[in-house]
Chains A and B, each alone.
Chain A
């Protein structure tokens, strides 16, 4: 079975721009969660989507949003980028039944 894939792997943007990241879960997984990883804050939960609905949300501003499609693929969007948004963005997929979450390789976002 193919693992979780994320595109793009690397991205450079400037302040004020917006960005969209994509995640394809493991086949058969209906839950996709997004996490932000920074050296200072570690791994922090952004949100989770299950069957096209946001089921859980972390403590991030509204500039961070996401969606999930009927094939379970998910996208997250960050608008009005700030320097502090530079991070590794990880998505993880699971069956959705409080099961193990498997991570993709991440998208490294650099905001200049």
Chain B
């Protein structure tokens, strides 16, 4: 069946460094992906999305890269800040969202 998976359950980075969170998917027909950030006690918050007609999309301090050949996407956060500490999910959007397990980003001061 379809699945979305994250490579690392936890990522620890120094404040000011760049963070890279990876995600793999299995369905080659998948064409729309969303990254969400979830802080403790809150619902997932939209960060950025990308469709399969793009390889890269940039937002404010975030970049998503999509490699359809190897079915992999990544979220890059520039100059990571303490407020970026959260659980990050990638999700495939086919009308219903299929989520990966999440990567916990810890930012060390």
Contacts and interface: CB of A to CB of B under 8 A. Distances in A.
9 contacts: A42-B100, A43-B99, A44-B99, A55-B95, A58-B96, A90-B44, A98-B94, A101-B34, A101-B46
Interface in A69-98: 90, 92, 98
Interface in B15-71: 32, 34, 36, 41-46, 49
A33 interface: yes
A91 B106 CA distance: 27
Nearest to A4: B43
Interface residues on B, range: 20 to 34
Nearest to B48: A100
A59 to B, nearest CB: 10
Given A43-B99, A103-B43, 10 more contacts: A33-B97, A43-B97, A45-B96, A58-B96, A100-B34, A100-B93, A102-B46, A103-B44, A104-B43, A105-B43
Interface string B82-109: 0000000101011111111110000000
Contacts of B46: 100-103
A44 B91 CA distance: 11
A106 B44 CA distance: 9
Interface residues on A, range: 20 to 34
Given A100-B34, A101-B34, A101-B93, A42 B43 contact: no
B98 A45 contact: yes
Given A42-B102, A45-B98, A98 B93 contact: yes
B99 A98 contact: no
Nearest to A43: B99
Nearest to B42: A105
Q: Which 4 A-B pairs have the closest CB atoms?
A: A103-B43, A43-B99, A45-B96, A103-B44
A107 B98 CA distance: 20
Contacts of A18: none
A22 to B, nearest CB: 15
